[in-house]
Amino acid sequence: MTCEPNIALVPVSGDLSTQTAPALKRTIESLVGEGVRRIVINMAEVPYVDSTGMSVLFCAVRLLRERGGLLSLINVTPNVMRTLKIARFVDLVPVSAMEERREVPELDPSVQPLWYTTFPVDAAHLQDAREYIERQARSMPFSNDAVFDLILAAGEAMGNAADHTCGQGILATVRGYPDRMVIEVADCGEGFDPGAVDSDDCLPCDERGRGIRLMRLLVDSVSIEPRQMGSGMVVRLEKLVG
């Protein structure tokens, strides 16, 4: 299981049934009790879900919503997806099928943003930065769930920048386009090789590697490149509308 202060990726293996569902229920309740508000369940190795498993999933949705959080399922197999559709679970939370990934068309450089803003990020007041980005996101036609994920991803990017630069020299640029919102977080830290922390060789304890993987779960595109001038990196997040 991969866990950040507000986000957890929970893998499930085998049938989600009477025998195994209670363990997932305990895991989710423990995470929520620790303050996690965004739980992503990886269903890649779940071939079957029975009524007990569905009950646990519905209870998890309710538990997180009561605390302002969100549950989603990824890598759902075809058989399980049919079960979730019959139960109308897919109407409640984000559910993505195995290997399903939205294609992000390249942004035409000639297209001007509808609006944009750049502001310094104060590491001591990251909540203010998140709230500002949230206000901008809510001006776009995003669902509440999409805004939730976008703010978590932006918070992860800004938090990582603060951790790796002693909180100095962080800039956030936010742009709104007809089909997407783009957030860039630039720092002036020592820099790093994004390929190294985004590879299969990345250790589970590597903070940067975990952060990149979590951001990829939350938005449609994540790119990390060195700044064109000076030291540091730029993390670019894109979230498509619709």
Q: Which pLDDT tens digit goes with each residue over 62-83? A: 999 999 999 999 999 999 999 9
Domain boundaries, the chain: 2-97, 115-240
The strands making up 233-240's β-sheet, listed across from edge to edge, are 115-120, 171-176, 180-186, 233-240, 221-226
Beta bridge partners of residue 240, listed in sequence order: 180
Q: Most confidently modeled of 34-48, 212-226, 227-241?
A: 34-48
pLDDT value of position 193: 58
Q: How confident is the model at residue 98 (pLDDT cuts 50, 70, 90)?
A: confident
DSSP-based three-state secondary structure for 180: strand
DSSP-based three-state secondary structure for 1: coil
Q: CB of 232 within 8 A of CB of 194?
A: no
Report the predicted TM-score, pTM, of the whole model to 2 decimal places.
0.73
pLDDT value of position 205: 40
Task: Please tell me the distance from the alpha carbon of residue 141 to that of residue 16, in angstroms, as a whole number.
Answer: 35
Average pLDDT for 198-221? 64
Which of 214 and 179 is assigned the larger pLDDT? 179
Full DSSP string of 26-67 = HHHHHHHHTT--EEEEEEEE---B-HHHHHHHHHHHHHHHHT
Residue closest to 166 by CA, chosen among 130, 123, 206, 205: 123
pLDDT value of position 207: 47
Q: CB of 158 within 8 A of CB of 172?
A: yes
What is the CATH class of 2-97? Answer: alpha beta
Q: Residue 141 has which token pair?
A: 């036609």
Report the range of poorest mean pLDDT among 37-51, 109-123, 148-162, 188-202. Answer: 188-202
Specify whether domain 115-240 bears CATH 3.30.565.10.
yes
Question: Mean pLDDT, the chain, as a whole number?
Answer: 87
Residue closest to 179 by CA, chosen among 139, 239, 102: 239
Average pLDDT for 187-198? 63
